[in-house]
Every structure is written in C-alpha cells, then in structure tokens.
Homo-oligomer: A and B are copies of this chain.
C-alpha cells in the first residue's frame, strides 16, 4: 500500500433546488462570468433561463461560450480563453456534462497563460493556475465535476489527450438529479458504463490496497448496476438519478485510489477509439471492458475477478475460481449490453481493423510510452488483440 495525499476541496450542492445558491457562490469569485455550454439542450429545458435569472439577481455580468463538442476540441478551448482575456472574466461557469466541464477547465487554465492551450498536452506546459471554475452537472458520467483533470481532442492530429492539476478542480459544483431527467437513454447508458469503468480501472489491481476502498468500490459498482436500468426505464426516478449522479463524482475524484497508481487500461484504449472515430466515450468503454477482462484473466489474476464476482454480483465464493471469474465477466457483459442496451461490438459502430495498430501505438505513447502498464501490462500487440476481440 502506497502513501497518498487526499485533498478534494470542491464544495458540492447536492439535491433538488440547490441552484438557488448559484448567484452568491459565483459572486464570491468576482463580477464577470463566462457561461460555457454545449448544444441547445439547456435552452430547451429552461435551465439556461434559470441560470440567467440567478446570475442577474446576484448582479453579475454574463458572457457566453456555447457549442462545446461532445469530444471537446482544442479550438473551442482557444476561443473560450480568448473571451476570458478580452473581457477580463473572473469565473468560469460550466453547464453540462464531462465534455463541457473538461473544456471549461482548460479555458480557465488557458486564460492564465500566454501559450497555446494544446501546449498543456503535448509540450508539457504545466497547469499552474486557472480561473475559478463552478459547474452545474447535467449528466452523470465522467466525474469531471469533482476531479482535477480533463481530456481535450485535436482532430487535426487524431489526438485525444488527458492532463490534470489541482488548479483545475472545480471550486463549487451543483448536482441536481432532476437536471438529468431529460438525458436521453443512450447517454444515460453510456454515462453509466463510464462510471462503472472508472471504478473497475482502479479496482482491478493486484497490488494490495485498502480493503475499505475495495468495499466502497464494490458499493459504487452495485449502485450503478442497480440504478442505471431504473433510470433507463423511469427517466424521472429521483432516487436512481441521485445515486448515479453522486456515484459519478465519487468514482473518479481520487478517493477510491488510496495510493494505487496504475495506468487505466480501458480508458487508454478507448481514448484512441473516440479520437479516431468520435464515438461516445462510455460506449467505447462498454465494448472494450468485458474483452479486456477476458484477455487479462489468468491464474495470476483470477482472485480479483472472484472478489468482484462474489461481492458485486453475489456469485458463489466456494465455486471454482476460474468458473466464478468467467461468470463475473458474463454478468458484466450482460449488464452493459442487455441491461443498458448498448451495442456490443465495434463493427456495430462501423469501426473496422484499419487503424488498430496505429491506435494501439498511440495508446501506449499517451500512457507509459511503450505499453499500458495497468492491471496487466499491455504492449501494442496485446491492445490490437483486444481491439480484434471487439469486432
């Protein structure tokens, strides 16, 4: 077990009706607010009007960066940073899901430097400070509302890269489960797969960690498996939406790690898929995860699968470990494809093997250099094999 530092100062207003605190919270940071959002959904739902009302009631001045893409582009970050510099923005308000929040993080950071935003990702330019960031979450998925990192895409280079720093952590996040009632089924399913994957990427590790964190991760996974189907069947079920929302934040805010620090295997492989084909991140993870689990199963790793199967799916702890492990993989696939209704192959998404070698190399390059050193060390040829299993 490695030593670690725990520090998550983000203040979270959780529950219905909490947006009434938005104005005063924004006002703590200044007068000029840059509202960042994606498509038009926040206008259709009335959330936009609500925000404008709260901001105006607090006597603040509103600027806007609309149109953030589902896999946010560095060009949009550049645009936002320019507004911040031109207008002297005091605080960035991200309204949306992971894409909008990730974009906002790098808008906030880029506003404080003279170099190009992409330098944070490819030139090792450090994120040393950022404008304060407030978020209003509208989809439970990436956990960006309570973590210190983000992913930005550069379509020119087929790159989708991650970087993180405490300065990017939102100061305040609003999590109102009712704001996710209108999330379409496909996004609800993909978001739930994303949350599950965040936990699995940490949980599947053969190094001894803190038992209490394993138990918490098992609780998070049971939460997603229990409530995602409820949210799909009843989009306005408050309990289901609330559990998924709070689980999304805690799956990836760093708490579950407790000193574990291996590479994230499925995320490494998925980032290349969505960089090349612009697919939905959570769906890519859903396709990869059971195949990755299958590929990594061995006598050496089987005990972790058994722990997972017994504690998350209630499988029989006394049965043959390899049998339990395979059942656990099947149950995971069943959840992702049958319960969530996500298509199970890359072929379904129109992806063939054309770029597998290139994507595998890029995945390794973005993580440890020549491999993805996660639960099981994956070299480029291993990653190609896993991609092929997904066809």
CB within 8 Å of B: which residues of A?
1-9, 11-18, 208, 210-213, 215-216, 218-220, 222-223, 226-227, 238-239, 242-243, 246-247, 250, 258-259
Contacts and interface: CB of A to CB of B under 8 A. Distances in A.
Contact of A6 (B5, B12, B227, B259): B12
Contact of A219 (B2, B5, B9, B216): B216
Contact of A4 (B2, B14, B216, B250): B14
A1 B245 CA distance: 14
Contact of A211 (B2, B213, B223): B223
Contact of A216 (B216, B226, B227): B216
A196 to B, nearest CB: 13
A218 B222 CA distance: 12
24 contacts: A1-B15, A1-B239, A3-B13, A3-B14, A3-B16, A4-B14, A5-B18, A6-B11, A6-B14, A8-B8, A8-B9, A210-B242, A210-B243, A211-B223, A211-B227, A211-B239, A212-B220, A212-B250, A213-B246, A215-B219, A215-B220, A216-B216, A216-B219, A218-B219
A243 to B, nearest CB: 5
B5 A11 contact: yes
Contacts of A243: 210-212
How many copies of the polypeptide does the oligomer hold? 2
A1 B5 CA distance: 31
Given A1-B239, A242-B1, A15 B215 contact: no
Contact of A3 (B15, B212, B218): B15
Contacts of A11: 5-7
A145 to B, nearest CB: 11
A273 B227 CA distance: 43
A243 B17 CA distance: 37
A40 B220 CA distance: 43
A29 to B, nearest CB: 16
A189 B350 CA distance: 60
Nearest to A11: B7
A238 B1 contact: yes
Nearest to A6: B12
A166 to B, nearest CB: 10
A221 B259 CA distance: 22
A255 to B, nearest CB: 9
A9 B11 CA distance: 8
A158 B243 CA distance: 43
A17 B5 CA distance: 12
A336 to B, nearest CB: 19
B14 A258 contact: yes
Contacts of A210: 242-243, 246
Given A3-B15, A14-B5, A216-B216, A246 B258 contact: yes
A363 to B, nearest CB: 31
